């Protein structure tokens, strides 16, 4: 019987994001899922301390990183995918519907260096596609709703669900970003919850709740079915949509939304430096009319 997937988790306290280092223990081939680039918005300082922790863990274990995988274009942190690629030469993969996200947000930032065809990424995955990670098989599941491009990666009994689901005591992702849709999110969640109850789910984020302050990011399908506060068994699509739309109307925009989106639809690449050698992000202003 082949050895099962090895999973290491790296929690970023600033953005509440979990980056995963996933590997085949036999071949030592590995993938990095949702890597974080450290960004301090008050100063504009960028650093790679979080990414370096992952690279150090891979090096110490004798792993070779052969894939850099994004679950979606994140709105709460900048991706470190280019930094990993510089050091590993691994390709960067994203769901094929990133083209819709690029089409939505390219005009918002008036970006003339975004392709709208996803060519910033090395590979665009389609629903049901499989690929090898050493002796392991990775299956791509299109799980939209939070964004049109969201995908989950299934490896053995583990599924990396991005922002589709959170821990049961926190619930589900918002669906009010441009291109998001609560009914679509519900159907994506039901696809995940139809998996075997012992299937392990790994979240992209965790946030404090009144009853729990210690970060946690793993649970089972069975636990989600029984206890997810938004979408446990018995919650209908209509009830979920009503809850999600009412809740989303009260949520503020993520603190790093504007920096993150314009970088992440470029596969994490920062804007080209201008003639003074400095890169600049754009902040759209909404002026009163």
Q: What are the tens digits of pLDDT across the range 11-66?
A: 999 999 999 999 999 999 999 999 999 999 999 999 999 999 999 999 999 999 99
Decide if pLDDT at 88 tops 80: yes
Q: How far is CA 85 from the centre of its chain?
A: 17
State the virtual CA torsion across 33, 216, 62, 151 in degrees, nearest 10: -20
What pLDDT sits at residue 25?
A: 96
Instruction: Collect all residues with Cβ–Cβ distance below 8 Å to 120 and sequence separation of at least 6.
Output: 114, 265, 266, 267, 269
The pLDDT > 90 percentage for the chain reads: 94
Q: Are 84 and 34 in contact (CB under 8 A)?
A: no
Please give the radius of gyration of the chain, using alpha carbons only, rounded to the nearest integer. Answer: 18
Query: Stretch 209-227: mean pLDDT, rounded?
Result: 94
Decide if pLDDT at 67 tops 70: yes
Q: Are 262 and 206 in contact (CB under 8 A)?
A: no
Strand order in the sheet with 200-202: 130-133, 136-142, 151-155, 158-160, 200-202, 218-220
- pTM across the whole model: 0.96
State the virtual CA torsion across 18, 233, 173, 150 in degrees, nearest 10: 80
H or E element: which one contains 67? strand 64-69
What pLDDT sits at residue 251?
A: 96
What pLDDT sits at residue 208?
A: 86
The model's pLDDT over 90-138, given as tens digits with 9 standing for 90+, comes to 999 999 999 999 999 999 999 988 999 999 999 999 999 999 999 999 9
The pLDDT-based confidence of 2 (bands split at 50, 70, 90) is low
The pLDDT-based confidence of 288 (bands split at 50, 70, 90) is confident
State the virtual CA torsion across 22, 25, 28, 31 in degrees, nearest 10: -10
As to burial, measured by CB atoms within 10 angstroms (0-12 exposed, 13-18 middle, 19+ buried), residue 236 is exposed
d(CA 243, CA 238): 9
In this structure, the number of other CB atoms found within 10 A of the CB of residue 275 comes to 5
- CATH architecture of the domain 6-252 equals 4-Layer Sandwich (3.60)
């Amino acid at each position: 019987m082949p050895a099962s997937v090895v999973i290491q988790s790296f929690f970023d306290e600033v953005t509440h994001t979990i980056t995963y280092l996933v590997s085949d223990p036999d071949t030592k081939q590995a993938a990095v899922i949702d890597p974080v680039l450290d960004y301090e918005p008050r100063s504009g300082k960028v650093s790679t301390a979080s990414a370096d922790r992952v690279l150090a863990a891979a090096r110490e274990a004798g792993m070779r990183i052969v894939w850099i995988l994004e679950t979606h274009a994140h709105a709460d942190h900048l991706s470190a995918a280019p930094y990993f690629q510089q050091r590993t030469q691994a390709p960067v993969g994203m769901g094929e519907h990133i083209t819709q996200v690029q089409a939505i947000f390219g005009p918002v930032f008036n970006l003339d260096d975004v392709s709208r065809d996803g060519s910033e990424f090395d590979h665009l995955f389609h629903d049901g596609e499989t690929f090898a990670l050493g002796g392991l098989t990775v299956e791509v599941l299109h799980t939209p709703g939070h964004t049109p491009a969201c995908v989950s990666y299934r490896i053995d009994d583990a599924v990396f669900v991005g922002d589709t689901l959170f821990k049961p005591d926190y619930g589900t992702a918002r669906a009010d970003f441009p291109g998001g849709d609560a009914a679509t999110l519900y159907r994506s969640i039901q696809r995940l919850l139809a998996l075997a109850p012992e299937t392990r789910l790994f979240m992209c984020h965790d946030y404090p709740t009144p009853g729990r302050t210690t970060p946690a990011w793993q649970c089972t399908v069975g636990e989600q079915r029984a206890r997810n506060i938004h979408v446990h068994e018995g919650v209908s699509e209509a009830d979920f949509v009503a809850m999600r739309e009412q809740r989303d109307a009260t949520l503020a925009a993520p603190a790093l939304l504007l920096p993150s989106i314009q970088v992440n639809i470029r596969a994490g690449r920062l804007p080209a430096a201008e003639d003074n050698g400095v890169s600049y992000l754009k902040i759209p202003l909404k002026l009163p009319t």
